[in-house]
Structure 1
């Protein structure tokens, strides 16, 4: 298809799409409990996508699949490991390169669970959402990894016996922030505080919401198995091990095959009494159902052998989302519970004073709950072990009550989006908190004085850029942690430079004081103070588009940094370094299908400008289209869909020396098909061939061609290298943790490759110089690749 675009084209007015992670003003209420359940809030902010899980998942389901399985990732990691072995044997110079952690230390990332070591003073362990298990021996100030880098990194739950046996449940029960695409493969046990691990069961649980150990018999361990968010069935419900984790049996089955357990709690005064929360939830390619008839609360009075559903005073209709549940340690008859609706907003808060026999509706409204439209993102209540009236409700803000849930007020200090609190029984008043910003500690019983950890190397990054003038200057966009500037060298402190979720971030090629940063849906800025204020707004109102991707492309023309491009569903161009913009394309997408509560399909996901010809541009979209123009947008040519895999186009890059050679990468899995992850054109976009044979079957997120004939890709399971025309692939370097590599940035003068990982921060590696790649390019043979070309890397 060819489209001719008139330069006087007038686009439709763009609509703003606002993320829902803003802080809401909160006020405490001291009114008595209402007689009836409060009406649902109707004035909460709305939008097509609250959380980045929609963006992460939409890419990986863009092949039409309805599920993402642990097996797919396990197979891909196995292929990556085999490729690494072959590389070390055949191309030692490539395989032996060391990836170095660049930073940051001081940002952190989502922490869904933590445990305090009952024996060792000041020691705790935390679960990083997609970054493994970490240990602190200095009261939560600094953390070191105790989970193998080469293993899958998502962790959902932790528990520890009184003598230090540590259990980790893999996979997160919070379906957001990308974590739902990286499920777990069961429960692991460490008898030496994280020094070594063995898997002990529930391999088909996908996500573990909670682990609970019987304090009177620590061989008895309960697990809340949440199940696969995409595939009904599997290991779901509450499981019990009576031999320290060696064997497990289901003791509470869910009401249907889309329900799993998210909570299991043992009464500290009566281990025969056990409570559980069940959640009915399913994620499909174009919609999510985060509630239903399976959502419910349960109690057992015989150690988990039989269970009764708690209903006296609780709702029994199907409009129940995720339940949060807590038991007061110093008064176990006191229970607290809250529930959301099936579509996400907070619904109601309850209290029981008789161990769950009956429940009273409490006067907690949506603002006090601080859960916006995604109550399913939190799912926890924590009670002061010494005071049953002192409790904390997890939400966007940390909410605190001192009167038994009669009212709540916001606690100042911590980062947004709360998940876990634990009291240190060895130090009165010491509380630890895990949220989307990492780990915090309070010595004031959680009421105030929150101090953030200083060394947390588990940040989830979407993008990274490197200054051409100095590769030690970096900016990067992080999930729920904004845009950040790393201008203080390796391991130096990073500074926040705005944004909500941090998405595209770029540095002016000639002046590192000029920095651009973007929040979700293309809300971007231009700064002449290295990301600091004042900032000029870019996005809705300055550019023309009707839809904008969660990660909206923003880039420089490599031939002229005053020329820039910004893409929604229409490509915009600036000739004055981002100050003003003009549309240079029509809508380059299909524009659907769209679900108001799902991902907004029909956006441009990647743009590339030929370094050797500014008139040649390539564009890829979320609905699988690729376009090219050789006349700066006057005429647009669509690549025949029969040549493309039809999946989400993650990145396009152009050969540094030849505008007719370009590369496109794609998300999703092949799942046994011949669908390509990497395509190449040699004739300016007219025909494309698959050069990704030999790569692991996993989404490819980024691609970088070098001027001396190398080609590097970042995938969900590592970084790989080939010659300019593909063929055989080699693993690049060692010691890169198995977190997804979302973005690559190559600094040609220093040969430094920088990787942004989703869960383990920013890493650098030096790319070996392989002269054969530039002197023996097999110009007409697309299958030679590494073999015979990278001999100098042996």
Structure 2
């Protein structure tokens, strides 16, 4: 699921939230957290029951807000222009090697710490979020999966192994996949699970021979009309000769026989007055003309087309629309029966194969906007409905609600998970719905969990449970665990069916943890986990760090969206450790099976690793909730005991969802962290509680630190630079600033008028300046050419050499081929020889300052941007040196961790 919260036991919840309102990004509480402090002084953040509403939204905003700041809107063309610039840049040749190639086991034995890990929950092997699925009817065993920011993967052996086939398109953000009647695979870019990612889309691509070929830029269709859109669905209407795209900017249509460069035609956008009139949208805090789903009614000769356009929080255009002439003209539907036409939000449709039944899963804006009480169950699900005539006007009959689903074997039952966590609590985010082509009464429904009915909704069974934790069947001792196999990763986004001659039909489910499958006839518990080979590599990292192991090799750590923190060590690695309170050292088998493990559960944020000992690490859950381990998070016993993690959270009131912390660049005995406050820790690896952090400075009420760095100067003082935002959401009131103690006392830096009003994603202190006065600031978002709002200034990298008194844009000359790309700059790192390296949403770029001087940038990789050895186009979000400084690790938000020689 999108994020994780602390349960009463202190466990990190696997991403389940009740996001009723958009909480201010960076605010640590949404309707109120409670903090429990132990006698030792450590603290753990707990969500009050029913008040966990902001966490998933914070997770999504933590990635999106910086890229949309300051105004919240990016003019179409920004991303395409940045990509074209990259293609014309000079190149610093280097080769990237994929690192995270082992299977990722969320249930690995000996990594089941009861307080910090979710190990043992039953989900098994994980990949990153899967936004779309398709099967190839002409090629048995061929399945396609689309990662949220990981591109397209193909399996030719029914999910046993996978191969990436779109790594070097301009965007790896996938919204939809569909196999056309002629066998071509169509890809709609721009992830559809949230409208905030919409600028990442670069339109639609068509691959003529998908079972063997790979996507290239020449496969693009259209003339840029769908740039900056998220494409929620691609639907074919062969009878009428069209393909439809349901996008974040309305419904588009295109003739199936159109030439590649022929434009897409917008046919339905009520707020823009396209396709239908009389809809007064006005203005509001929503995305206008957001098309969530579209279906063509079988048996209508391609004439009847049905669409849902709706903003999850409610808008005047929300509702169902239909066309009886294949999308040329449209009408507003007036559904009768169980559906309230005035309370229609995000909706997913599914027709029976003969068109006789129309099913709909409907999110309720009323519930979305209702703050749940501390005792009341919480859901955003209006209900699941069926029109037994197949007519969009109904009458509709409700066949499921949150209570009915909770009593179907769900782990999200009120008596198990508590108030605030009932089925459909995230129905604005995770929905999927599909009817078995062979049986109009056999239906699969995806919300946080996956449900199945074989009698048209009279009864339901939870066939993809959220987890086993908290159930009576569960035990950490394997011999005493009697739970069945009906568990998969949470947050369901995609469903598909296979129909190959000579093979039993199967259903495929894609969610925040990858892909699962089983025969449609199966009623016994269990799924095939199609992530087990480790080849579906769509993991969405926020960070990476590495340290040497005593026996040789390195431990590579990284924090992940919705998949905790991973640790990768060479197969057969061992580590000798003496547990606290014991005297006999234990030799631990860190990786006997050749798998990555997940010592930390929930969302994983930043990660601090001791380069001299890779088993010593501090991992962030969210909002600066920190835990330290000195033995790789390994527990001596299979049942997760004794605990290998210690909470050392500073308990900041206003930390960002992914809050920054790290070690002083020249003093390993000094750590810093940033929430609202600046903290320091001198106990480091001996830390035992949150009391080991000392407050040094306050960024200001309502502010949150976005980047922090420390470097001891020649006099032994620790010079600290910290950037902050507040108000942190893009839009009116957005603010940012930088503070430092350079010069001896803490103060806000007076930024020049042309310093961009955008997120400061990272800071770096020049190691060659012994005073700490030379620092760099990396900015997110897009330049003033594209950004709507109060942003000013072009560059993404700025430098001061006098402690912040003056600043210079060192991104290069505006329009020059060697200018730093105009896309989010996420991380800055100095190579040992002084070369500057910047990770961006479009790759890694370097500036050899000694040879060229500042402002002359090169793309790091192969000369041919489509060649093997290049970094995939997934956003590069973090850089970290190898322990010996000869290589650099790159974390991507969608294609795992990669490694390249240090420039």
Is the CA contact 1:653–1:662 (under 8 Å) kept in the aligned structure 2? yes
Structure 1 residues 164 and 378, CA gap change in structure 2 (3 angstroms): same
Specify the alignment match of 2:314 in structure 1. Answer: 291
Structure 1 residues 98 and 144, CA gap change in structure 2 (3 angstroms): same
Specify the alignment match of 1:461 in structure 2. Answer: 541
Q: Among 780, 789, 801, which residue is 1:667 paired with? A: 780
Distance in 2, matches of 1:126 and 1:334, equals 28
- The normalised TM-score by structure 2 is 0.71
- The normalised TM-score by structure 1 is 0.81
2:305 is equivalent to residue 203 of structure 1: no
Is the CA contact 2:752–2:806 (under 8 Å) kept in the aligned structure 1? no
Distance in 2, matches of 1:380 and 1:476, equals 29
Structure 1 residues 320 and 245, CA gap change in structure 2 (3 angstroms): farther
Gaps of 5+ in 1: 1-15, 26-41, 88-93, 229-235, 282-288, 592-601, 769-794
Specify the alignment match of 1:512 in structure 2. Answer: 614
Specify the alignment match of 2:136 in structure 1. Answer: 117
What secondary structure sits across from 2:130 in the alignment?
coil
Runs of 4+ in 1 over 6 A off after TM superposition: 16-20
Q: Among 361, 365, 368, which residue is 2:398 paired with? A: 361
Q: How far has the Cα of 1:662 moved from its partner?
A: 2.0
Q: How far has the Cα of 1:609 moved from its partner?
A: 1.3
Structure 1 residues 307 and 202, CA gap change in structure 2 (3 angstroms): farther
Q: Among 808, 818, 821, which residue is 1:689 paired with? A: 808
Q: How far has the Cα of 1:371 moved from its partner?
A: 5.0
Distance in 2, matches of 1:355 and 1:293, equals 25
2:324 is equivalent to residue 222 of structure 1: no
Is the CA contact 2:99–2:899 (under 8 Å) kept in the aligned structure 1? yes
What secondary structure sits across from 2:708 in the alignment?
strand
Q: Among 242, 252, 255, which residue is 1:241 paired with? A: 255
Q: Among 724, 728, 736, which residue is 2:856 paired with? A: 728
Q: How far has the Cα of 1:267 moved from its partner?
A: 3.4
* Between 689-698 and 442-451, the greater mean CA deviation after superposition: 442-451
* Between 423-432 and 605-614, the greater mean CA deviation after superposition: 605-614
Structure 1 residues 173 and 210, CA gap change in structure 2 (3 angstroms): same
Is the CA contact 1:666–1:699 (under 8 Å) kept in the aligned structure 2? yes
Is the CA contact 1:130–1:182 (under 8 Å) kept in the aligned structure 2? no
Give CA deviations for 1:632-689 in whole Å, capped at 9, x if unaligned: xx72122103264332111112222423322221112222353432122223344332
Is the CA contact 1:657–1:707 (under 8 Å) kept in the aligned structure 2? no
Specify the alignment match of 2:720 in structure 1. Answer: 617
What secondary structure sits across from 1:708 in the alignment?
coil
Gaps of 5+ in 2: 1-8, 19-47, 104-125, 273-287, 370-379, 407-421, 464-485, 572-590, 636-642, 726-734, 786-791, 813-818, 863-869
Q: Among 386, 394, 411, which residue is 1:351 paired with? A: 386
Is the CA contact 1:364–1:405 (under 8 Å) kept in the aligned structure 2? no
Q: How far has the Cα of 1:372 moved from its partner?
A: 4.7
Structure 1 residues 481 and 276, CA gap change in structure 2 (3 angstroms): farther
Give CA deviations for 1:498-541 in whole Å, capped at 9, x if unaligned: 231111122123322222211222222111221345244546xx
2:616 is equivalent to residue 497 of structure 1: no
Specify the alignment match of 2:797 in structure 1. Answer: 678
Q: How far has the Cα of 1:220 moved from its partner?
A: 2.4
Instruction: Count how many residue pairs are aligned between Structure 1 and Structure 2.
Output: 695
Structure 1 residues 532 and 346, CA gap change in structure 2 (3 angstroms): farther
Specify the alignment match of 1:424 in structure 2. Answer: 498
Distance in 2, matches of 1:433 and 1:350, equals 21
Distance in 1, matches of 2:82 and 2:822, equals 5
Structure 1 residues 160 and 656, CA gap change in structure 2 (3 angstroms): same
Is the CA contact 2:711–2:719 (under 8 Å) kept in the aligned structure 1? yes
Structure 1 residues 611 and 443, CA gap change in structure 2 (3 angstroms): farther
Q: Among 617, 627, 634, which residue is 2:739 paired with? A: 627
Distance in 2, matches of 1:313 and 1:358, equals 5
* Between 688-697 and 365-374, the greater mean CA deviation after superposition: 365-374
Specify the alignment match of 1:553 in structure 2. Answer: 660
Distance in 2, matches of 1:23 and 1:172, equals 20
Q: What is the RMSD of the two structures over their aligned residues, measured on CA atoms?
A: 3.1
Q: How far has the Cα of 1:328 moved from its partner?
A: 1.9
2:339 is equivalent to residue 312 of structure 1: no
2:639 is equivalent to residue 639 of structure 1: no
Specify the alignment match of 1:706 in structure 2. Answer: 831
Structure 1 residues 510 and 105, CA gap change in structure 2 (3 angstroms): closer
Give CA deviations for 1:428-473 in whole Å, capped at 9, x if unaligned: 2422111111222223646542222221122211111111567742
What secondary structure sits across from 2:697 in the alignment?
coil
Distance in 1, matches of 2:874 and 2:75, equals 16
Give CA deviations for 1:7-54 in whole Å, capped at 9, x if unaligned: xxxxxxxxx9999854599xxxxxxxxxxxxxxxx9744343423221
Distance in 1, matches of 2:711 and 2:882, equals 17
Structure 1 residues 305 and 721, CA gap change in structure 2 (3 angstroms): closer
1:86-125 alignment to 2 at 5 Å?
86-87=90-91, 94-95=92-93, 97-106=94-103, 107-125=126-144
1:762-777 alignment to 2 at 5 Å?
762-768=897-903
Q: How far has the Cα of 1:137 moved from its partner?
A: 0.3
Is the CA contact 1:648–1:667 (under 8 Å) kept in the aligned structure 2? yes
Specify the alignment match of 1:399 in structure 2. Answer: 451
Is the CA contact 2:676–2:698 (under 8 Å) kept in the aligned structure 1? yes
Is the CA contact 2:516–2:528 (under 8 Å) kept in the aligned structure 1? yes
Specify the alignment match of 2:842 in structure 1. Answer: 717
Q: Among 705, 726, 747, which residue is 1:604 paired with? A: 705
Distance in 1, matches of 2:828 and 2:96, equals 18
Is the CA contact 1:210–1:264 (under 8 Å) kept in the aligned structure 2? yes
Q: How far has the Cα of 1:365 moved from its partner?
A: 2.1
Distance in 2, matches of 1:306 and 1:646, equals 43
Distance in 2, matches of 1:366 and 1:654, equals 55
Is the CA contact 1:292–1:318 (under 8 Å) kept in the aligned structure 2? no
Is the CA contact 2:739–2:746 (under 8 Å) kept in the aligned structure 1? yes
1:643-658 alignment to 2 at 5 Å?
644-658=755-769
Give CA deviations for 1:102-130 in whole Å, capped at 9, x if unaligned: 12453421222111111111111122222
Specify the alignment match of 2:177 in structure 1. Answer: 158
Specify the alignment match of 1:66 in structure 2. Answer: 72
Structure 1 residues 535 and 273, CA gap change in structure 2 (3 angstroms): farther
Specify the alignment match of 1:386 in structure 2. Answer: 438
Distance in 2, matches of 1:319 and 1:191, equals 43
Specify the alignment match of 2:509 in structure 1. Answer: 433
Structure 1 residues 736 and 401, CA gap change in structure 2 (3 angstroms): same
Distance in 1, matches of 2:266 and 2:542, equals 40
What secondary structure sits across from 1:500 in the alignment?
coil
* Between 441-450 and 385-394, the greater mean CA deviation after superposition: 441-450
Is the CA contact 2:672–2:709 (under 8 Å) kept in the aligned structure 1? no
What secondary structure sits across from 1:641 in the alignment?
coil
Structure 1 residues 58 and 396, CA gap change in structure 2 (3 angstroms): same
What secondary structure sits across from 1:259 in the alignment?
coil
Q: How far has the Cα of 1:163 moved from its partner?
A: 4.3
Is the CA contact 1:273–1:300 (under 8 Å) kept in the aligned structure 2? yes
Structure 1 residues 757 and 312, CA gap change in structure 2 (3 angstroms): same
